[in-house]
Amino acid sequence: MSFQYLNPGPARAFKDRFTTKVDETKQWYEEGKSGKIGLLGLPYSKSSISASQASEAPQSIRRALGFYTTYSHEKEQDYTDVTMLDFGDAPAHPTDTEKTNDLLKKSVKEMLEEEACSRYVLLGGDHGVSFPSITAFHERWGRVGVLQWDAHHDVRNTEDGGRTNGTPFRSLLESGVVRGEDLVQIGIRDYSNAQAYAEYCARHGVAVYTMADVDAEGIASIVKKEIQRLKEKVDLIYLSVDMDVVDQAYAPGCPAIGPGGLTSRELLVSVQEASGDPIVKAMDIVEIDPSKDVRDMTSRLAAHVMMRYMYQ
């Protein structure tokens, strides 16, 4: 039987013939397909030191892409031709963090080995997923420079709890995947870190920009300066966006919310500044817990972060 009005299946959505939503440019990956952006979910948050359902964020951010169009009025350009290939979600072990890290790394490497895309977006998950993801890019392409937007250093010791969402950059530094001089931390917030970890970053030569530095220098200037410095030394640059870098007023759906962070506009402007250089090949977005969000504010902001990265 064919229906004239009924449509069993997906929920109906209004369609304006002149409007393309961002999620309409997304296709599931199949062998032989190519596109500009490779998308992979890393839905793991059991390593979080605070209660978190960040494993639900990849699907929440994907849904949020459906709220926005591909047209930039400021640039007077429509990005309907920017295709995303969605590689789905990487698997995770139900109890073993080390096994999960191995699964996540192998999943990222499998995506890269397809050579189907020129840039990649990884959707966490808590910040612990950055360790296996960045490791995969290092093993595939070589020396990695990292710009890390974060309220926290994420270089906690591993003796007090193993690898957690507070340890990814300590793990990267101590495993030799990332050199201290190739790591830039932006938005580090007062009263959110221990003195020992500030000193650890200083010993390893990490470039640390606090919120006071952001106020004094301007975040776009900081990003531009550090991209220019890193590109002289590294093979690729990876952007790691921990959404708790944003003030709690703009990103309430983070497990570690706090006042005094970036505005949503500062985050978007700085990601756009960083993404303009072709040496920037990858970005992860982490630390969104949809169960703590308000009207999907944080997932919607993450969708805009993706768009600033993709539409160059």
d(CA 254, CA 257): 5
pLDDT of residue 69: 98
Assign residue 205 a region (left: φ > 0; alpha: ψ between -120 and 50; beta: otherwise): left
Tell me the mean pLDDT per 10 residues along the chain, length 312. 71 87 96 96 92 94 98 97 97 93 97 97 97 98 98 95 91 98 98 98 98 98 98 98 98 97 98 98 98 98 98 94
Q: Position of tokens 């640390």? A: 208
Please, what are the domains in the chain?
A: 22-310 (3.40.800.10)
pLDDT of residue 1: 57
Written as six digits, the tokens of 266 are 């500062």
pLDDT of residue 267: 98
Nearest residue to 281 (alpha-carbon basis) of 182, 146, 103: 146
For residue 209, give every residue at least 6 positions away whose Cβ sits within 8 Å of its Cβ, in sequence order, or none: 184, 185, 186, 187, 188, 217, 222
d(CA 242, CA 77): 29
Positive or negative: CA dihedral 90, 95, 101, 102: negative
> Are the beta carbons of 150 and 285 closer than 8 angstroms?
no
DSSP bridge pairs for 207: 184
Q: Position of tokens 């890290």? A: 101
pLDDT of residue 129: 98
CA dihedral 253, 250, 296, 16 (to 10 degrees): -160
* 171 phi/psi in degrees, rounded to 5: -60, -40
pLDDT of residue 12: 74
d(CA 51, CA 288): 12
DSSP class per residue in the chain: ---SS---SSPP----TT--BGGGGEEE--TT---SEEEEEE---TT-SS---GGGHHHHHHHHGGGSBSEETTTTEE-TT--EEEEEE----SS-HHHHHHHHHHHHHHHHHTT--SEEEEEESSGGGHHHHHHHHHHHHS-EEEEEE-SS-----STTTSS-TT-HHHHHHHTTSS-GGGEEEEEE-TTSS-HHHHHHHHHTT-EEEEHHHHHHH-HHHHHHHHHHHHTTT-SEEEEEEEGGGB-TTT-TT-TT--SS-B-HHHHHHHHHHHHTSTTEEEEEEE---GGG-STTHHHHHHHHHHHHHH--
Strands 280-286 and 119-124: parallel
* 145 phi/psi in degrees, rounded to 5: -100, 145
